[in-house]
Amino acid sequence: MAFKKWLPVLLSVSVVLGLSGCGEETSSSADANTVEESGEAATVDFPTQPITAVVPNSAGGGNDAAARTLSKLMSNLDLVSQPITVQNKPGGGQAVGMAEFATKYNKDPHSLYVGSPPTIINNLRNEGNSPYGYKDVTPLGMIYSDIAILAVKKDSKYKDLKSFVADLKANPEEISIVGGSGPGSQDHLTVMLLADKSGIDPKKVKYIGYDGSGDALTSLLGENGDALTTDLSGITEFVKSGDVRILAVASPERLSGDLADVPTYTEQGVDLVYYNWRGIFGPQDLDPGIVGFWDENLKALTESQEFQDEIAASGFVPGYLDSAEFTTYLEEQEVMFEEILGKLDMLK
């Protein structure tokens, strides 16, 4: 009786499964065709097996979210015929995952690494150094980024960047700046860049590192810190509710939407543009055909409506760079980090 009742359901499920299975096959062959037609990757048959995306952080973090978005949308949009599985290798502020990827996956073209600025910084800094950096892997593309911001509590006396910088210059020991990660991390270095570019000795600036941007935000709201350096995505709700005021965003131009009246660093006279980027990397010495494959598909991914909706909802900003542009960008960032770490005596 019960079985009879469920029979139509079972049948329809199996039919649907069968059909969707066919759909996948056709779409993947179509995929292969487009690759061949474009001529870039005529000789590579890629991917032939499931792809592993190594994430150097635990589940739930920013890089993890980027990897899961990549994995989900690449298959939903039928861009990559093989599944992308996410492998979390947390520890050492990304140094463990980086070492693992650079040494154990270096011969496996079916692997990806999802990283952010520590990919460069860890390789440069003196303490907690990672022996591997972006030169030990192949940059494939930057898919989106978060923007560094400087914020104060709503009732703070600082209404703009100018008054804040003036006070910081006069009494650096009076002002504490809180951030969600330790010294030598991006939260710390953006403030140091600000100090350096405003003619303040970065070593005199009081920076207090917390375990995560949530804790740092708490200390700002609880008046245990005067200003907060963090990424935009975690703080938009507090700006909307009026609890927090952003003094400056590190984007080249003003943002759109709710945050259109927040000024940039540049327009307030500080030449500071900083993205907390999310990048996709492949193993070292990757076949140029496969690099071409990722260039094409990452571009298609970032141009899709689904992707744009997803990152807009999380408060990230788009900004796709292909493998060549991304490599150049990383080289520029390396120079910038090297300089500021040098001034802080934190360079290896």
Residue 110: φ, ψ to 5°: -90, 45
Binding part of the chain for another protein, among 21-29, 37-45, 90-98, 195-203 by CB under 8 A, reads 90-98
Residues 247-306 that bind another protein (CB under 8 A): none
Place of tokens 């150094």: 129
According to the binding rule CB under 8 A, does residue 343 interact with another protein? Answer: no
The nearer residue to another protein, 47 or 92, going by C-beta atoms, is 92
Residue from the set 210, 277, 307, 337 that interacts with another protein by CB under 8 A: 210
The nearer residue to another protein, 154 or 159, going by C-beta atoms, is 154
Residue from the set 21, 60, 199, 257 that interacts with another protein by CB under 8 A: 60
With residues binned 3-state (H G I as helix, E B as strand, rest as coil), the percentages for the chain, rounded to 5, are 50, 20, 30
Q: Which of 43, 34, 29 is nearest to 81 (CA)?
A: 29
CB of 117 to another protein, least distance (A): 15
Helix axes 186-197, 323-343, angle to 10 degrees: 70
Strand ranges inside 192-237, DSSP E:
206-209, 227-231
According to the binding rule CB under 8 A, does residue 39 interact with another protein? Answer: no
The nearer residue to another protein, 130 or 302, going by C-beta atoms, is 130
The amino acid sitting at 163 is S
According to the binding rule CB under 8 A, does residue 342 interact with another protein? Answer: no
CA angle 241, 243, 247 (to 5 degrees): 110
CB of 138 to another protein, least distance (A): 21
Q: Strand pairing of 244-249 and 137-153?
A: antiparallel
According to the binding rule CB under 8 A, does residue 211 interact with another protein? Answer: yes
CA angle 296, 138, 133 (to 5 degrees): 145
Residue 189: φ, ψ to 5°: -70, -30
Residue from the set 241, 256, 305, 335 that interacts with another protein by CB under 8 A: 241
Q: Are 72 and 105 in contact (CB under 8 A)?
A: no
Residue from the set 217, 270, 280, 321 that interacts with another protein by CB under 8 A: 217
Structure tokens at 31: 């995929």
The nearer residue to another protein, 233 or 323, going by C-beta atoms, is 233
Catalog residues that contact another protein under the rule CB under 8 A.
58-61, 64-65, 68, 89-93, 95-96, 99, 125, 127-131, 173, 176, 181-185, 188, 206-212, 214-215, 217-219, 221-225, 236-238, 240-241, 243, 313-315, 346
